[in-house]
């Protein structure tokens, strides 16, 4: 039984048995990453990643099977079937990215979608070791490197800082210096201005210490003279 399975795994010819085994492996690898994304309550979860990996593996199997069964196939390049997977997967990746008020979310999920497509192609081509290593490294990046990222973000919490100004041309550089001097890490920035009313709204996504005192920060920002309101929300 094991010898027969080993023969199927090492076979370079696409048969119903090799196709079934490769699709099963792609199902398993896709589910591993999908469970991690599902656990974090991402929109693209276990079903999405499993289907992406299996679909990519199937596309590679078809690319191999066509010239195998039709050796005189001269009117096209069956390798394009697998090649176009990476192009088509970009639509799913773009759908996973959300842009809101200057902040971008979903880049990690979009990158995972692309990586899982590559892993599926590798499984379909019979590169099981490479696919397994890539899956392991992907899981390591998602789980372990996130902890390192949190430490790099000053080990704090993310909040949204909104500053309403009574001028349409606030000193953005000055505000940034105040935030940095108070050990506040700026993740992203969005800026709205109303020239008719001569007002503007600056929205920062910031990372701050969970036990920080904000009274000093607010007082320094108010010294700019044109601040009408400051809000800091989780």
Which single residue is written with the structure tokens 């192009």?
A: 87
Determine the longest span between alpha carbons in the chain, in angstroms: 80
**pTM for this entry:** 0.63
pLDDT at residue 76 in the model: 64
pLDDT at residue 30 in the model: 92
Low-confidence spans in the chain with pLDDT less than 70: 1, 4-5, 73-76, 98-105, 146-156, 210-212, 234
pLDDT at residue 117 in the model: 92
pLDDT in tens, 9-62: 777 788 888 899 999 999 999 999 888 888 877 777 788 889 999 999 999 999
pLDDT at residue 28 in the model: 93
- Please, what is the average pLDDT of the chain? 82
> Would you kindly state where each structural domain of the chain is located, as residue ranges?
5-9+11-152, 157-233
User: What dotted CATH number matches 157-233?
Assistant: 3.30.70.260
Q: Burial level of 83, CB count in 10 A (0-12/13-18/19+)?
A: middle
CB atoms within 10 A of CB 176: 15
pLDDT at residue 153 in the model: 55
| Dist. CA 119–CA 53, nearest whole Å | 7
| Dist. CA 151–CA 10, nearest whole Å | 44
């Amino acid at each position: 039984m094991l010898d027969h399975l080993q023969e199927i795994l090492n076979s370079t010819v696409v048969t119903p048995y090799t196709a079934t085994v490769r699709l099963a492996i792609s199902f398993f690898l896709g589910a591993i990453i999908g469970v991690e994304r599902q656990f974090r309550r991402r929109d693209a979860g276990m079903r999405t990643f499993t289907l992406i990996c299996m679909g990519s593996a199937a596309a590679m199997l078809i690319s191999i099977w066509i010239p195998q069964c039709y050796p005189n196939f001269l009117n096209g390049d069956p390798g394009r079937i697998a090649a176009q997977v990476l192009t088509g997967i970009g639509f799913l990746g773009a759908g996973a990215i959300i842009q809101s008020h200057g902040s971008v979310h979903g880049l990690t999920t979009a990158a995972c979608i692309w990586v899982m497509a590559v892993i599926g192609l590798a499984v379909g081509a019979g590169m099981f070791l490479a696919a397994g290593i890539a899956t392991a490294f992907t899981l390591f990046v998602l789980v372990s490197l996130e902890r390192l990222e949190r430490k790099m973000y000053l080990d704090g919490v993310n909040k949204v800082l909104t500053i309403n100004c009574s001028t349409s041309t606030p000193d953005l550089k000055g505000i940034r210096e105040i935030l940095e001097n108070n050990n506040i890490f700026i993740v992203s920035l969005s800026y709205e201005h109303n020239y008719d009313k001569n007002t503007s709204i600056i929205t920062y996504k910031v990372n701050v210490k969970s036990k920080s005192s904000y009274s000093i920060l607010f007082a320094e920002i108010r010294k700019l003279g044109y601040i009408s309101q400051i809000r800091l929300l989780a």
